[in-house]
Structure 1
Amino acid sequence: MPHPMLASVVASVTEFKKDPQATVEAGCGEIVAILNHDEPAFYCIPAARYEELLDYIDDLELAMEVKERLKASEPAVSARIVGGDVVFEDDGG
Protein backbone atom coordinates (compact mmCIF):
# COMPACT_ATOMS: atom_id res chain seq x y z
CA MET A 1 0.00 0.00 0.00
CA PRO A 2 1.53 3.39 -0.96
CA HIS A 3 2.29 5.84 1.81
CA PRO A 4 3.10 9.55 1.58
CA MET A 5 6.75 10.34 2.13
CA LEU A 6 6.88 13.07 4.77
CA ALA A 7 10.63 13.66 4.63
CA SER A 8 13.02 14.73 1.91
CA VAL A 9 15.77 12.39 3.18
CA VAL A 10 15.24 8.64 3.42
CA ALA A 11 17.34 5.71 4.63
CA SER A 12 16.73 2.00 5.00
CA VAL A 13 16.43 0.26 8.36
CA THR A 14 19.67 -1.55 7.47
CA GLU A 15 21.50 1.75 6.92
CA PHE A 16 20.06 3.12 10.16
CA LYS A 17 21.20 0.04 12.13
CA LYS A 18 24.75 0.30 10.72
CA ASP A 19 25.27 3.91 11.78
CA PRO A 20 22.32 5.74 13.39
CA GLN A 21 24.29 8.95 13.98
CA ALA A 22 25.41 9.16 10.34
CA THR A 23 21.78 8.65 9.28
CA VAL A 24 20.68 11.57 11.48
CA GLU A 25 23.52 13.74 10.17
CA ALA A 26 22.56 12.92 6.56
CA GLY A 27 19.31 14.78 7.20
CA CYS A 28 21.22 18.03 7.90
CA GLY A 29 18.94 18.83 10.84
CA GLU A 30 15.74 17.75 9.11
CA ILE A 31 13.55 14.69 9.60
CA VAL A 32 14.74 11.41 8.03
CA ALA A 33 12.26 8.74 6.95
CA ILE A 34 13.43 5.24 7.81
CA LEU A 35 12.13 2.70 5.32
CA ASN A 36 11.42 -0.98 5.80
CA HIS A 37 10.64 -2.85 2.55
CA ASP A 38 10.26 0.52 0.77
CA GLU A 39 7.59 1.71 3.21
CA PRO A 40 8.13 4.33 5.95
CA ALA A 41 8.62 2.48 9.25
CA PHE A 42 9.34 5.56 11.36
CA TYR A 43 10.74 9.06 11.20
CA CYS A 44 14.04 9.98 12.82
CA ILE A 45 13.89 13.50 14.24
CA PRO A 46 17.02 15.28 15.50
CA ALA A 47 16.72 16.59 19.07
CA ALA A 48 16.82 20.28 18.08
CA ARG A 49 14.07 19.78 15.50
CA TYR A 50 11.95 17.85 18.03
CA GLU A 51 12.28 20.72 20.52
CA GLU A 52 11.18 23.16 17.80
CA LEU A 53 8.11 21.01 17.09
CA LEU A 54 7.18 20.89 20.78
CA ASP A 55 7.54 24.69 21.03
CA TYR A 56 5.34 25.07 17.95
CA ILE A 57 2.67 22.82 19.47
CA ASP A 58 2.78 24.87 22.70
CA ASP A 59 2.30 28.06 20.68
CA LEU A 60 -0.69 26.55 18.85
CA GLU A 61 -2.30 25.45 22.11
CA LEU A 62 -1.79 28.92 23.59
CA ALA A 63 -3.33 30.52 20.49
CA MET A 64 -6.39 28.25 20.79
CA GLU A 65 -6.75 29.21 24.46
CA VAL A 66 -6.57 32.90 23.57
CA LYS A 67 -9.25 32.46 20.89
CA GLU A 68 -11.54 30.67 23.36
CA ARG A 69 -11.11 33.41 25.95
CA LEU A 70 -11.84 36.08 23.36
CA LYS A 71 -15.07 34.27 22.47
CA ALA A 72 -16.10 34.25 26.15
CA SER A 73 -16.81 38.01 25.97
CA GLU A 74 -15.17 38.69 29.30
CA PRO A 75 -14.31 42.32 30.09
CA ALA A 76 -11.04 43.51 28.59
CA VAL A 77 -8.09 44.29 30.84
CA SER A 78 -5.28 46.62 29.81
CA ALA A 79 -1.78 45.33 30.41
CA ARG A 80 1.75 45.84 29.17
CA ILE A 81 4.99 43.90 29.40
CA VAL A 82 7.73 45.54 31.47
CA GLY A 83 11.05 43.77 31.81
CA GLY A 84 9.53 40.40 31.02
CA ASP A 85 6.65 40.82 33.50
CA VAL A 86 3.02 41.56 32.76
CA VAL A 87 1.88 44.80 34.41
CA PHE A 88 -1.86 45.41 34.56
CA GLU A 89 -2.89 49.01 34.05
CA ASP A 90 -5.36 50.61 36.42
CA ASP A 91 -8.44 51.97 34.66
CA GLY A 92 -8.67 54.78 37.21
CA GLY A 93 -11.71 53.35 38.90
Structure 2
Amino acid sequence: MEAIYADFSVSMSEFKKNPAQVLRTAGEKPVAVLNHNRPAFYMVTPKLFEALVEELADRDLLEIARRRLARKDSAIEVDIDEI
Protein backbone atom coordinates (compact mmCIF):
# COMPACT_ATOMS: atom_id res chain seq x y z
CA MET A 1 0.00 0.00 0.00
CA GLU A 2 1.25 3.47 -0.89
CA ALA A 3 1.32 6.27 1.67
CA ILE A 4 -0.84 9.32 1.05
CA TYR A 5 0.74 12.56 2.22
CA ALA A 6 -2.39 14.70 2.42
CA ASP A 7 -5.29 15.37 4.74
CA PHE A 8 -7.74 15.20 1.85
CA SER A 9 -8.04 12.82 -1.08
CA VAL A 10 -10.34 12.74 -4.07
CA SER A 11 -10.74 10.47 -7.06
CA MET A 12 -9.56 11.64 -10.46
CA SER A 13 -13.13 11.61 -11.79
CA GLU A 14 -14.39 13.76 -8.89
CA PHE A 15 -11.46 16.14 -9.35
CA LYS A 16 -12.22 16.52 -13.08
CA LYS A 17 -15.85 17.40 -12.34
CA ASN A 18 -15.00 20.48 -10.29
CA PRO A 19 -11.34 21.17 -9.41
CA ALA A 20 -12.18 24.60 -7.98
CA GLN A 21 -14.58 23.03 -5.49
CA VAL A 22 -11.91 20.55 -4.38
CA LEU A 23 -9.53 23.47 -3.78
CA ARG A 24 -12.15 25.41 -1.80
CA THR A 25 -12.98 22.38 0.34
CA ALA A 26 -9.34 21.68 1.15
CA GLY A 27 -8.51 25.27 2.05
CA GLU A 28 -4.75 25.46 2.67
CA LYS A 29 -4.32 21.69 3.00
CA PRO A 30 -2.78 19.49 0.27
CA VAL A 31 -5.07 17.18 -1.69
CA ALA A 32 -4.10 13.77 -3.05
CA VAL A 33 -5.80 13.10 -6.37
CA LEU A 34 -6.18 9.36 -6.74
CA ASN A 35 -6.22 7.21 -9.85
CA HIS A 36 -7.29 3.62 -9.14
CA ASN A 37 -6.89 4.34 -5.40
CA ARG A 38 -3.24 5.37 -5.80
CA PRO A 39 -1.92 8.95 -5.66
CA ALA A 40 -1.62 10.33 -9.19
CA PHE A 41 -0.61 13.81 -8.04
CA TYR A 42 -0.95 16.27 -5.21
CA MET A 43 -2.68 19.61 -5.45
CA VAL A 44 -1.26 22.34 -3.23
CA THR A 45 -1.87 26.05 -2.90
CA PRO A 46 0.78 28.50 -4.13
CA LYS A 47 1.53 29.40 -0.49
CA LEU A 48 2.25 25.77 0.42
CA PHE A 49 4.25 25.19 -2.76
CA GLU A 50 6.42 28.23 -1.96
CA ALA A 51 7.03 26.89 1.57
CA LEU A 52 8.07 23.50 0.14
CA VAL A 53 10.47 25.12 -2.34
CA GLU A 54 12.00 27.27 0.43
CA GLU A 55 12.45 24.21 2.65
CA LEU A 56 14.25 22.35 -0.13
CA ALA A 57 16.50 25.36 -0.79
CA ASP A 58 17.31 25.58 2.93
CA ARG A 59 18.25 21.90 2.97
CA ASP A 60 20.54 22.41 -0.02
CA LEU A 61 22.25 25.34 1.74
CA LEU A 62 22.63 23.30 4.92
CA GLU A 63 24.37 20.53 2.99
CA ILE A 64 26.74 23.04 1.37
CA ALA A 65 27.55 24.52 4.79
CA ARG A 66 28.23 21.06 6.25
CA ARG A 67 30.58 20.16 3.38
CA ARG A 68 32.45 23.43 3.80
CA LEU A 69 32.75 22.97 7.57
CA ALA A 70 34.20 19.52 6.98
CA ARG A 71 36.97 21.16 4.86
CA LYS A 72 37.69 24.08 7.20
CA ASP A 73 41.24 22.82 7.90
CA SER A 74 42.18 23.74 4.33
CA ALA A 75 40.56 27.18 4.51
CA ILE A 76 42.63 30.31 3.96
CA GLU A 77 42.15 33.13 6.44
CA VAL A 78 41.44 36.54 4.87
CA ASP A 79 40.83 40.03 6.16
CA ILE A 80 37.44 41.30 5.03
CA ASP A 81 38.81 44.86 4.83
CA GLU A 82 41.41 43.78 2.27
CA ILE A 83 38.94 42.27 -0.15
Please give the range of the TM-score, normalised by the shorter of the 2 chains.
Answer: 0.7 to 0.9
- 1:25 pairs with 2:17: no
Deviations 1:12-48 (A, max 9, x none): 1112111112212222212100112222111112111
Q: Greater share of strand residues, 1 or 2?
A: 1
Deviations 1:47-85 (A, max 9, x none): 11111100111111111111111111125678xxxxxxx
User: Which sections of structure 2, spanning at least 5 residues, go unmatched?
Assistant: none
Q: Which has the higher contact order (CA 8 A, sep 6+)?
A: 2
**TM-score for both structures, normalised by structure 2:** 0.80
How far 1:6 sits from its partner (Å)? 1.3
Taking a change above 3 Å as real, the CA distance of residues 23 and 76 of structure 1, as seen in their structure-2 partners, is: farther
For the 8 Å contact 1:9–1:26, the answer to whether it is kept is no
Identity of aligned residues (%): 30
Taking a change above 3 Å as real, the CA distance of residues 22 and 36 of structure 1, as seen in their structure-2 partners, is: same
Taking a change above 3 Å as real, the CA distance of residues 71 and 50 of structure 1, as seen in their structure-2 partners, is: same
**How many equivalent residue pairs?**
79
Q: Greater share of helix residues, 1 or 2?
A: 2
What RMSD in Å do the two structures reach over aligned CA positions? 1.9
User: Which sections of structure 1, spanning at least 5 residues, go unmatched?
Assistant: 79-87
Distance, in Å, in 1 between the alignment partners of 2:53 and 2:78 is: 30
**TM-score for both structures, normalised by structure 1:** 0.73
Name the aligned partner's letter for residue 35 of structure 2: N
Name the aligned partner's letter for residue 67 of structure 2: E
